[in-house]
Every structure is written in structure tokens, then in C-alpha cells.
Amino acid sequence: MYENIKQAVEYIQLLTGIRPAIEIVDKKGLHLPLIMTEGFGFYKTILFEEQVFLICHQDGEESTPAQMRLQADRIRQALNVRVVAFVMEKAASYNVLRMIQKRINFIIPGKQLFLPDLLTDLGRKSVTDNNQTDYDEIPATAQLLLLYHLQKENMEGKHGEDLAKILRVSPAGITRAVKWLCAHSLAKYEGGKYKVLNFLFDKKELWEKAFPLLASPVLRIVYTDECVSGITCGQNALAEYGMLVETNYQITAIDKKRYQTIKPKTDPQYGENRIEVWKYAPEILSEGGFVDKLSLYLSMRDDEDERTQKELRVLLEDMKW
């Protein structure tokens, strides 16, 4: 039995006063694809008078919430069970938030037992620091500034007016963005009368440090039968960068301001073409009519399709920092 399963048993006993019995499940009888069983241990137990199927990663690695959602759904269907939960040694704070948002059942021994299918959330402690949390999301202009620096042009040594002109945003927006980046130890704004921006890490490390705080640029998705000009995004952009097949319909990214001009022609639910309304103007970062790679990754990282997840991994691996 894996060590974190033992720790989970002790943690459940600590929280509930009941020590659950654990039964090992033979993965050969699950009839699941190898990708969903290799490297995992499977167990059954009874919690709160209901059978729970437990999944434990053998080497402690962390799957994405999209992969976990897909794996849990496939197991529910294959075994006709209602509650499938992941036992994890640890999880990054941004993944914890996304698992909660996706209502994924999980147990992190010593930290949290989150079983929404059993209406149970125990052990979680709120983490605050100057009214910030581990899940504090980056403002749109700060994310635009960061991604522009990582992919388009080195933004170090530039002062606020330069940054505002390059990104086509207001000086006030730049001020808020820079303050946020400095408050989260990603950059410094230094100098005398004319302060300039300097990041604290090289590009690859900066992406890794900022990643837990980055958000999908997509504000909302609407549909239309009109052909709307804009920047190609979603699966069609991923098809351009990788091996996915392009759809037979248009997937276009536009910003909020542009959306207001076409809003009467759209239907939030129905239409031949899909429009992603973005929090920042996608054309500022785009190349050749396609959204930039890092924004694309952030916009699709919760997609549950296995092929999409594979292409997204390749997309990051091919990044030239």
C-alpha cells in the first residue's frame, strides 16, 4: 500500500474519529486505457456510509485537474460507482483552486479532505497575507504585460508611459499592473523621478513563478452565425501550432470593447461560429493572425480532451525562452 494512502487513513481518522478499512483494487479488471492506470494505485473504502473509489499516484506526481476530471469520469462509467476521489501527497495552490472549481473529490493528508459528492469539506485553512490569498489572480493588464515580455519584447528598463503605449492601455492600468507584479515578488519598479520596470527572474523562471497566479484570458464565450474578423484561437490555433485537426467553424478571440460593437448579432448559446471574449486585446500578442502560445495554453489548460492536453504539453515544451 502506498505511503500516502496510509497517511490518508490516519487523516480521515483524525477528522472523523473513524478509521476506514482499505481494499486494494486489481487494476487489470478495470478495463481502462493504460494511460489512466499506469503509475496509479486503486483502492476502495467506505466513507460516510458510502463506497468511495480512491486513486493514488505511485510516484507522487501531480496530474492536471482536466486529466483528473477525465480519469474520474471514465472510472465512474466503467465501474458504475458514484464517488471517485484522488489521494495526493501535495498539490499546488492553483491546482487546489481549480480542483475545487471543477468539484473534483480529493484528499491531501494533513491539509484537506474535499468530497463534494458527499457534501464534505474538512480540514481546509484559509491562508491570508495582507488580504491576499494563495489563489490571488493576476489582473488582465499585468498578465498582458508579463506575456508580452515573455514572448514579444523585453520590457525591462521601460517606464510607465512606454509600457502604456506599447500595450495600448491607460497609464493608470499600467500603474496597477506594475504594483501587482511588485507585490507578488515578480518585478521591481525602481529609479528616481522616472522609475523603470525590472523583472526578478529570467524568462523561463518568471513563467514558472507567475504560473500559479495566471488566469484564462477568456471572459466569456458566445456564438454567432456571422463571420467575425478577429484573432484565431482555441482548437484552431492549437491546430496551427501542433497536430490537432482544425474545426470546420470559426473560433475567434476579440476583446471586450470590440464585443460591444457586435453584441446584437450574437446569441450566447446558438450559432455556427464561436467567439471568445478576452480580458485583454489578443492582437497585441498575436503572431500571423493566431493568438499567442502562452495565452492559448492558459485558455485551454482545463480542456478535458486527452489529445488537447497532449498538444498543450508539447506547446510548452517547444517554447523558446
Cβ contacts of 52 within 8 Å, gap of 6 or more:
44, 45, 46, 83, 84, 85, 105, 115, 118
Residue-wise pLDDT for 82-111, tens only, equals 999 999 988 877 788 888 888 899 999 988
Q: Which pLDDT does position 294 carry in this prediction?
A: 97
Q: Over 70: is that where the pLDDT of 268 sits?
A: no
CATH topology of domain 3-122: Trna Endonuclease; Chain: A, domain 1 (3.40.1350)
Query: What architecture is domain 140-213?
Result: Orthogonal Bundle (1.10)
At 246, give phi and psi (nearest 5°).
Answer: -70, 145
Listed in order, the ranges of the chain carrying CATH 3.40.1350 are 3-122
Q: pTM of the predicted model, to two decimals?
A: 0.67
Can you state the angle between helices 306-317 and 293-300, rounded to 10 degrees?
150
Pinpoint the residues of the chain covered by CATH 1.10.10.10: 140-213
135 pLDDT more than 70 = no
Check residue 267 and give its pLDDT: 65
Mean pLDDT (whole number) for 276-283: 96
Mean local confidence (pLDDT), 139-166: 96
What's the pLDDT tens digit per position in 50-66?
999 999 987 666 778 88
**Residues 144-166: what's their mean pLDDT?**
96
Per-residue model confidence (pLDDT) at position 130: 39
- Mean pLDDT score across all residues of the chain: 88
Q: Give me the amino acid identity at 87.
A: V
